[in-house]
Structure 1
């Protein structure tokens, strides 16, 4: 608890400095209703065999050898965009036209995009949504301090097939983060507001961050932010990605050689937090990757 308080105090100080750099007033020091506090634990999902779990921040760009992920924030401007700029930014969110065809999927479940062959996720946006992600609150009404506007109903641009029959209040627009809505039943990561304060949001492209970018990329949009976002994906769950390696190492430490053990509940002991983090980044452990890691450590 003391460690959490110290980290929170440090984050507050860093955010104040960031807001000063942006020319924005600091928020009053009131208690923030964070998504990770006072949540009921999920003992059926929590590892009992690991003495120490990893709590990653799923929208950061981690450095391979670092203890904590290393941020790569965008360079902030000195003040809030002029009103005309905000209008133009909003227009860009829906003005794009598909430029690329949908990806193909190989026999091991990996997706391949012709325009970016080095980007190889194995979870589609629809799968991420339907299986449970972001505490069911990713598409809630969002107030952007940077733009000074509230964004809502933008989930409606998604293909109808992605959300048909889905409990939208539970899995899309829940005003509060609900870890029970997540596939692995645990909370992880930070809020979109925290991502914005840290400088990770490219507002002219995707005001909600990486997953919104992924949805639009999947639907055929190509934009100037593609290389940055794919680079962040690589650092998290690519072939040498930090959280991918962390997760595979946990399988080895626990002596688990088959991902199918998870169907019998054995895999529940492999960090659900890191599993959920990788899920948010469109990756899940597949048998071929696990066997290769057992054999070579890569």
Structure 2
């Protein structure tokens, strides 16, 4: 037995020497093939702070000249702070961000939506998009910064469209020129219908109409969701009212427009970030899992981790952000 073991060991060493010689002849070194594992430092749990006031707008030459990173993605499906430092930020891990973004894209289903291919001619549709009269007043806002609409009591977002635009959303590309295959036309310049106060001081080309989706524009510096084109192909865009989908509907609803698509859109919002919405619950569970009970600044310390920036950005695109009262309630009740 001992002799067999000795023979096998001698053969193993001979094979090692022969392989090393072969790699040397080929100019390949082991250190180029297998990198030493990087030590994983333990980092304190991230805490997050939110500002309820409008943040100042900014225009960045770095962002404006950024190279194309990927095709436009619109996280309005099931569906990161402009004041953050411009340097690279550490997160819980790129793999986690990509996995969460993929999960958000792959689980985006709206079973109540139906294909809304219009029967009207295109010009009549265009006229309808622009010609409407406010049928309701502006919402009220309570001490917790939550909005309330008299005719939709279950619709309680805590971000206004203006805040979403100024903080950074949809990769700066939501109002880019959009080609609709269903209508056979390109829609552009419809951002001009927004109240002037919402876009005053913003670099429109970077923050609203960029031809490429730039995650650096987003409040949480990540991309997530599907494109408007994908939503249209799935039949989840109601062209009669809002050719761009959810956020366009929210902008118009916020300033008083009412239409037959309101119930569907409010229902979608509730399923995503309402009191029992999937993305809201997912995000709050992550806070609890990390033992975070207070909402503090995140991303300011290089060694801090992010609490799921992808889910945060998704919720932000649905006009919801974790606030202290919401987090407190979840710790108390688990919902």
- The reply to whether TM is greater than 0.5 is yes
- The residue correspondences of 1:127-206 to structure 2 (distance < 5 A) are 127-206=163-242
Q: 1:174 to 1:235 in 2, by over 3 A?
A: same
Write out per-residue CA displacement over residues 240-260 of structure 1, whole angstroms, 9 at most, x where no aligned residue: 000000000011111111112
Tell me the CA shift for residue 69 of structure 1: 4.0
Task: Find the counterpart in structure 2 of residue 55 from structure 1.
Answer: 101
Query: TM-score of the superposition, structure 1-length normalised?
Result: 0.78
Tell me whether 1:297 sits opposite 2:334 in the alignment. Answer: yes
CA RMSD of aligned residues (A): 2.5
Return the alpha-carbon distance in structure 2 between the equivalents of residues 268 and 154 of structure 1.
38
Task: Find the counterpart in structure 2 of residue 112 from structure 1.
Answer: 148
| 8 Å CA contact retained: 2:171, 2:215 | yes
Tell me the CA shift for residue 118 of structure 1: 1.1
Task: Find the counterpart in structure 1 of residue 66 from structure 2.
Answer: none
Tell me whether 1:276 sits opposite 2:313 in the alignment. Answer: yes
| 8 Å CA contact retained: 1:105, 1:111 | yes
Return the alpha-carbon distance in structure 2 between the equivalents of residues 35 and 45 of structure 1.
24
Task: Find the counterpart in structure 2 of residue 286 from structure 1.
Answer: 323
Task: Find the counterpart in structure 1 of residue 107 from structure 2.
Answer: 68
Write out per-residue CA displacement over residues 144-199 of structure 1, whole angstroms, 9 at most, x where no aligned residue: 00000000000000000000000111100000000001000001111111111111
Count of aligned pairs between the two proteins: 251
Higher-Rg structure is 2
Write out per-residue CA displacement over residues 101-135 of structure 1, whole angstroms, 9 at most, x where no aligned residue: 00010000000011111110000000000100000
Q: Partner of 1:259: helix, strand, or coil? A: coil
Write out per-residue CA displacement over residues 44-71 of structure 1, whole angstroms, 9 at most, x where no aligned residue: 253249968522677x8xxxxxx93433
Task: Find the counterpart in structure 2 of residue 256 from structure 1.
Answer: 292
| Unmatched 5+ stretches in structure 2 | 1-69, 74-86
Q: Partner of 1:150: helix, strand, or coil? A: strand
Identify which range, 84-93 or 137-146, moves more after superposition: 84-93
